[in-house]
Structure 1
Amino acid sequence: MPMDVTVTPSSIRLITPEGCTEVWLPAEVRLAPSSCRGLQYIAGDGLHLRLQAQAEFSTKLISVFNQSSQAQECCTFYCQSCGEVIIRDRKLLRVLPLPSENWGALVEEWCCHPNPFANKPLHPQENDCFIGDSFFLVNLRSNLWQEPKANTKVICKRCKVVLGETVSSETTKFYMTEVIIQPSERSFSIIPRSQFVQSVVAQCLVELSSAKSTFRYTIQDQNGKVYILIWLLNLDSLVVESLRSSKHTTKFPLFEDTLKSDSSPAWNAVKVLYQPCIKSRNEKWPF
């Protein structure tokens, strides 16, 4: 159908015989109208165009996982699959990020003397929560599991899902894809499993890509089995979509369950190359 597209620094207006749709951008995002290129309609995906944009976001990186487990609050740990309470009313006095993996090997390179941390692993105290790239470390000395052995699985009593593993007699590692942490006064609501895992993996990748010099990752289970290879591209992309309710409006399938009428029409996005590892193939990145 004939379509007229008008771009301003703060909005994009689409005029068709059926009417006018205008998408307003968040206040911190400004467009450069003269940079509009590559306008085309792709069946099943919608209208595409390329624009230069300026975004005045805060440069301070805040972990999305820290936001759900603030220090000085009483928190409850739940099994994400069934809602079973794992740890009830634990007051977290310290919520701290762990160093990245293989930090011990880096210390060997930095020090001209034997590694001073070799026999001093980072274990949380009773009111600590240490946050890794894909897991939480908590101290369960006074909790439900008595005298746990290291390297044993922690299983939900209700649904029998593997929630994590014991690291030592006092420290337990919970996987971020299996556990939700909420302030104790807040009610727990079940989130669809696939949507939750998508969200956690996406958040992990965004945080890792903002702190690492490489954008290639593997997704694997706790036994080391590799499921998929991922390569992130275009980390500064911005996706804009009209939220007008119409049979002619095409939504992104992965966003459709999470979009709401009062949500922003713009999202930060990345392009992803991926290679599934099926039947023991493609388990390592090709050189």
Structure 2
Amino acid sequence: MGTHLDKSIYVRFLFSVNLRLDIWLQLCWEMVAKMRRDVAKSYAEVRVTGGDSSLHIRTPRGLLIVELPAGVSLVEGSCREAPGTGDEIHFRMRLNVDQHTDDTGALGSVMERLLVQESYCFHCQSCGTRVLEERVFKRVLPLPNGNWSSLVDDWCCHPDPFANLKLLPRAEDCLLGDTHLLVHRDRGCEETLTQELSPSPRPITNKMADGKNQDTQKPNRRRTLVSCKSCTAGLGEAVAPGTLKLYITEVTVRPSVGDSQFDTSLDRSLFLEQTIAARLVELSSSQSMYRFFIQTPDGKALILLWLLNSDSLIVSLSAAMSSTVRGDAVTSPSHRQCSERQSPTKAGSTVKVLYLPCSPSGSTHQDVVDTWEKDIGVHPLDLPQTTCQELLAVLTASTSCLPLSLHSMNSYQVAYMRL
């Protein structure tokens, strides 16, 4: 028996018109059930009882049995009505948690897993083709980030001797940026990678430049784009002769283990979601960063992202009435099309974020965007433009499958990202 913890599970129920039930379980202090009034018109028509690690939810439309995670049980008699909004009926109840572990299997990003004197393979995330020869790094070092150059100017009494120099890796180095790796180009790249110049970008007005509160024009710069020769997916840039900048959202790095084949079964949107979520957690933990501009390499901001917490355990289920669903079956937020094709998986940790898309033609919340642009506490994260758009689709899909009352907070949209 595990030690009893005075915790509970926060559960959000949403009955849709087609009689399917979306359930969210989040470890916190209380459990809240939310259902639409087309399922039950009032609190009196709903009865919630507990079984052996299960919830029995009876409405005029039928009975749903939800199997809770091991060690979780309902405190009998604790279910009560709570203030609701709109077409939703809200309930609160207590759950006992006999044991809970923080080990949810989250591995962190590649930044946390790269080690010196270990052999690694680099694969295109889209098609699984190996794009670099097997590597053993003698040095794995972080790159300075943020407005470090302007800080040097402010703090030092002499000019920065490295202001116009690039930090480039040696042959056996791996330099870590916020969302990319800098590695040395090898001989095999001629067979696995292609290069082409990017179109001439339009000037970008950037109020965050150098941490100052005035508009600055970023100079036009054509970048040398690097793509996978097998599937043409963009992987990064050639930032200097012999140096590759590879985005962690476009390549998969794993230890070399014999002749095992690369697993291409991982869904692209799930990989992107987990990778970005892990980086948000790592940056918030190591550098106390919680607000981010998701932007293109040219400095064009596409998403405002605010990390709220990273200690939630979410379970999302879809099940027909008069059925049994398991509390360890999870629909990943990246698959949130609310459809039959979703594959269940184990419950895992998630991060809760607030976000706002930055419209190219002017945001609906332009005042919020302007405030963030002038705030040096907001950290820019560069991603390829198509990846920024994919990430926005993941966030939007997450929001769409939340109960309506949970879609937004103030002027921001709410989403959960799986670790």
Q: Normalising by structure 1, report the TM-score.
A: 0.71
For residue 118 of structure 1, what is the amino acid of its counterpart?
A
The gaps in structure 2 that reach 5 residues or longer are 1-45, 72-78, 198-221, 336-341, 372-419
Q: Which residue of 2 aligns with 1:152?
A: 224
1:239 aligns with 2:313: yes
Separation (CA, whole Å) in 2 of partners of 1:135 and 1:271: 22
1:193-227 per-position Cα deviation (integer Å, ceiling 9, x unaligned): 22222222222322233344553322233343433
For residue 184 of structure 1, what is the amino acid of its counterpart?
S
1:205 aligns with 2:280: yes
For residue 277 of structure 1, what is the amino acid of its counterpart?
S
Separation (CA, whole Å) in 2 of partners of 1:56 and 1:99: 35
Asked if the contact 1:75–1:91 (Cα under 8 Å) also holds between the matched residues in 2, the reply is yes
Q: Which residue of 2 aligns with 1:14?
A: 55
Structure having the higher Rg: 2
Pairing partner for 1:94 from 139, 147, 168: 139
1:183 aligns with 2:265: no
**What is the number of equivalent residue pairs in this alignment?**
270
* TM-aligned CA deviation for residue 138 of structure 1: 0.2
Give the direction of change, closer, same or farther, for the CA distance of 1:208–1:20 in structure 2 (3 Å limit).
same
Q: Which has the higher helix share?
A: 2
* TM-aligned CA deviation for residue 39 of structure 1: 6.1
Task: Give the match's secondary structure for 2:68.
Answer: strand
For residue 356 of structure 2, what is the amino acid of its counterpart?
Y
80-89 or 202-211: bigger deviation: 202-211
For residue 189 of structure 2, what is the amino acid of its counterpart?
L
For residue 55 of structure 2, what is the amino acid of its counterpart?
L
Q: Normalising by structure 2, report the TM-score.
A: 0.51
Pairing partner for 2:333 from 254, 263, 273: 254
Task: Give the match's secondary structure for 2:229.
Answer: coil
1:151-210 per-position Cα deviation (integer Å, ceiling 9, x unaligned): 411121122222111111122101122111122224311132222222222223222333
* TM-aligned CA deviation for residue 129 of structure 1: 1.2
Q: Which residue of 2 aligns with 1:29?
A: none
Give the direction of change, closer, same or farther, for the CA distance of 1:19–1:254 in structure 2 (3 Å limit).
closer
Task: Give the match's secondary structure for 1:188.
Answer: coil
1:167 aligns with 2:249: no
Q: Which residue of 2 aligns with 1:226?
A: 301
Q: Which residue of 2 aligns with 1:277?
A: 359
1:85 aligns with 2:85: no
Q: Which residue of 2 aligns with 1:123?
A: 168
Q: Which residue of 2 aligns with 1:33?
A: none
Separation (CA, whole Å) in 1 of partners of 2:80 and 2:354: 22
Give the direction of change, closer, same or farther, for the CA distance of 1:19–1:161 in structure 2 (3 Å limit).
closer
Q: Which residue of 2 aligns with 1:217?
A: 292
Separation (CA, whole Å) in 1 of partners of 2:353 and 2:89: 16
